Amino acid sequence: MRFSSLTSLIFLAVPVTVSACEGECIVAITNVFLGNYTAPISAVMDSVAQQISHFIPSNRLEITRAYLSPLVEAYNKQAYDSMERAIFPQFFHGKCQQNGVDPPGCPNPDCPVVCGTPGSMVHYYSTLREIAFNCTRDSLVALSAPDSPTYASIERAVTEAAQRDSHKLTGKPGYRTAPVSAPHNDTVPQSMSTSSGYGKEVLVPILVKRQSLDVQTDLRAVMGQTGNMLLNACSGIDDNVESLSRCSWEKPMKDYILTFP
């Protein structure tokens, strides 16, 4: 997308009658922020997939990445509504006027009422940037939580894949041979017994349950880091959203916002 090259100082010359960011303005600005976050979110998914691939050594990274599709799809479904609601009207809302009268100090962007005008959004851009980041991070964290349906789908797919992978390594589909003492041979189901030079043996399940618990524990630890991974992708430090150098887009975003009346 190309951004109009308007000076970021235009907001200082706002007219007395100030229009709020409405309709096309709201939709466009929301969509641009969502588009901007496509790359950082993709980086997070790649990082998660890379760590999950450690549980499933035989899987290529693109296969592991596919296990995260429930999260990506769920995020895409809710992202617009969440972002729009977070920006408009939770912080930027309507015109500065109250009952048709400008509050004292308005339409100066520093007036007591934070209005939803393009000039106000530019003036409070650091807050706008923070809102967009927090909204995106909160969505990823919620969808990655162990109690979410999205997480359950991912855990099921990863656990099953890890089990299939371990079965390939054992050479038997989920079973190993174990000797059975003579007094109990007659209790061994015929379908489960096998002959060898050392007498009867029985095929017993490999400890898949234990392995599954290990994978689930590791997966929860990885998925629990999606919020921090996004912060890292945006070049943040600890929990300081003021340092989001890669998720600021300040100059082009200010220019774009000011293309709206």
Q: So where are the chain's domains?
A: 10-145+224-257
Within 10 angstroms of residue 4's Cβ, the number of other Cβ atoms is: 10
Between CA 78 and CA 136 the distance in angstroms is 10
pLDDT of residue 167: 58
Judged on CB neighbours under 10 Å (0-12, 13-18, 19+), 229 is: buried
pLDDT of residue 207: 43
Give the predicted TM-score (pTM) of the model: 0.74
The pLDDT tens digits along the chain (261 residues) read 332 322 222 223 333 344 678 899 999 999 999 999 999 999 999 999 999 988 887 778 888 999 999 999 999 999 999 999 999 988 887 667 777 777 776 667 777 777 888 888 999 999 999 999 999 999 999 999 999 999 999 999 999 988 887 655 444 444 444 454 444 444 333 333 344 444 444 444 444 444 556 889 999 999 999 999 999 999 866 556 667 889 999 999 999 999 998
pLDDT of residue 185: 42
The phi-psi region of residue 171 (left if phi > 0; otherwise alpha if psi is between -120 and 50; otherwise beta) is left
DSSP 46-109: HHHHHHHTTT-TTS-HHHHHHTTHHHHHHHHHHHHHHHHHHHTTTTS-S-S-BTTBPPTTTTST
Between CA 15 and CA 103 the distance in angstroms is 15
Between CA 39 and CA 247 the distance in angstroms is 10
